[in-house]
Amino acid sequence: MSFDEVLGHDVVRAYLARAFRHGRISHAYLLSGPEGIGKALLARQLAAALLCRQSGVDDQDAEQIDGCGDCGGCQAIESGNHGGLQILDSAEGRGIDLASLREMMRSLSLRSGDRRIVIIDPAERLQEAAANALLKILEEPAQGVVFLLCSHRPAQLLRTIVSRCQQISIGPLTREAFLEVLSRYPIDAANAEQLFAGIGGRPGAAIGLFEAMQRCGGEVPFREILQHPPRDARNLVALADVEGGQSDREAVYQTIRILADGVWAFRSDDVDGRRLAAERATMLAHVARHVERSGSPDLCLEATLMILSALDLDQLRLRMPRSLGVA
């Protein structure tokens, strides 16, 4: 990633630049906002600014917050080798466990004296024991360590963790910033406009949806899947990017998110069509949350198939297992 990849969110960045310039660097920030909006990239940009040796927070004149992109610190971040930046995510799909958190804190402790950054993304995937340990860490913050928590479901975090973070909500990008981000991908302008009209200023979600359409042969076959989903729910997983070696849980989660975005992006524009799309997308979001936490991927895929196929969603809600949270 190069640092100028992170566009938009100017208000947030300017606010943080001012705060940092006045030496008001909190030991923990919670960046919250919808999925696919750019929280992870923004967190990495903040980390770059905080670890940059040339510019960023120590530049008295900086209007924006950013790393210089050139110094040893920035280069190390870009190549993923900066020992002062630790990123905890849950790509393996089992949540962020206590052992990972402890190991991360141990390696950070070897660099005491320097500024160190921890990104936890998404923070709602911290397992219970890890969340409790994080709370203790935040209660007695180590000098120089800054936590950047990203969350699309902040209501699921321990309230005691949230209260120890400076909270920053991240909104959708403007159309201009959204189109600028998408212009850096092999997505033509007409498709980019269509994606903005479909799902608004969430570039990460738009790119995920676009790539899923590519995987199944384009927009027409993708819409066909939405309207006439395959009999075998497992076939839906072909929509997700599984080449990155994600766990089955993560692949199923991505699949359901893509379908929820697709249902909304390709809604029909009359009142009934919008209402049906909104209900379907909401139900799918609940199912995605269930698989994200610990639900059976197969059960959640079956539920997804039923949500896509059902004509009467009220009837369907009555038939769904309560644990899915769609009722």
Does 62 sit near Zn ion (CB under 5 A)? no
**DSSP state, residue 196:** H
In whole angstroms, the minimum distance from the beta carbon of 64 to Zn ion comes to 14
Report how many residues bind Zn ion under the rule CB under 5 A: 6
Computed on alpha carbons and rounded to an integer, the radius of gyration of the chain in Å comes to 21
Does 133 sit near Zn ion (CB under 5 A)? no
Does 74 sit near Zn ion (CB under 5 A)? yes
Does 310 sit near Zn ion (CB under 5 A)? no
Does 71 sit near Zn ion (CB under 5 A)? yes
Run of H or E including 86: strand 85-88
Closer Cβ to Zn ion, 115 or 317, answer by number = 115
**DSSP state, residue 126:** B
Does 33 sit near Zn ion (CB under 5 A)? no
Spatial separation of the C-alpha atoms in residues 205 and 209, rounded to whole Å: 6
Does 84 sit near Zn ion (CB under 5 A)? no
Length of the chain in terms of residues written = 327
Closer Cβ to Zn ion, 28 or 119, answer by number = 119
Closer Cβ to Zn ion, 48 or 263, answer by number = 48
Closer Cβ to Zn ion, 3 or 29, answer by number = 3
All residues at 6 or more sequence positions from 252 whose CB lies less than 8 Å from its CB, including other chains: 237, 240, 291, 297, 300, 301
Spatial separation of the C-alpha atoms in residues 2 and 7, rounded to whole Å: 11
Angle between helices 271-293 and 297-309 (to 10 degrees): 170
Does 77 sit near Zn ion (CB under 5 A)? no
CB 303 within 8 A of CB 312: no
Residue 87 corresponds to which tokens in the numbers above?
A: 């990123």
In whole angstroms, the minimum distance from the beta carbon of 141 to Zn ion comes to 25
Closer Cβ to Zn ion, 37 or 65, answer by number = 65
Closer Cβ to Zn ion, 51 or 182, answer by number = 51
- Candidates 26, 54, 166, 296: give the one binding Zn ion (CB under 5 A): 54
Does 51 sit near Zn ion (CB under 5 A)? no
The closest alpha carbon to 304, from 322, 318, 290, belongs to 290
Which region, judged by CB under 5 A, interacts with Zn ion, from 3-11, 44-52, 149-157, 248-256? 44-52
In whole angstroms, the minimum distance from the beta carbon of 71 to Zn ion comes to 3
Does 57 sit near Zn ion (CB under 5 A)? no
- Candidates 14, 25, 68, 104: give the one binding Zn ion (CB under 5 A): 68
Which region, judged by CB under 5 A, interacts with Zn ion, from 45-53, 117-125, 196-204, 231-239? 45-53
In whole angstroms, the minimum distance from the beta carbon of 14 to Zn ion comes to 19
Give the CA distances from residue 92 to residues 49, 96, 129, 242, 249, in Å, rounded to whole numbers and listed in that order.
Answer: 28, 9, 18, 12, 8
Which region, judged by CB under 5 A, interacts with Zn ion, from 2-10, 63-71, 83-91, 266-274? 63-71
Closer Cβ to Zn ion, 38 or 56, answer by number = 56
Which region, judged by CB under 5 A, interacts with Zn ion, from 50-58, 153-161, 193-201, 285-293? 50-58
The closest alpha carbon to 39, from 185, 162, 151, 165, belongs to 151
Which region, judged by CB under 5 A, interacts with Zn ion, from 65-73, 95-103, 171-179, 202-210? 65-73
Q: What ranges in the chain are assigned the alpha helix state H?
A: 10-21, 39-51, 72-78, 98-109, 128-139, 159-163, 175-182, 189-199, 203-215, 219-227, 248-265, 271-293, 297-309, 313-319
Lateral strand order in the sheet of 166-169: 85-88, 116-120, 145-151, 28-32, 166-169
Q: Which residues bind Zn ion (CB under 5 A)?
A: 52, 54, 67-68, 71, 74
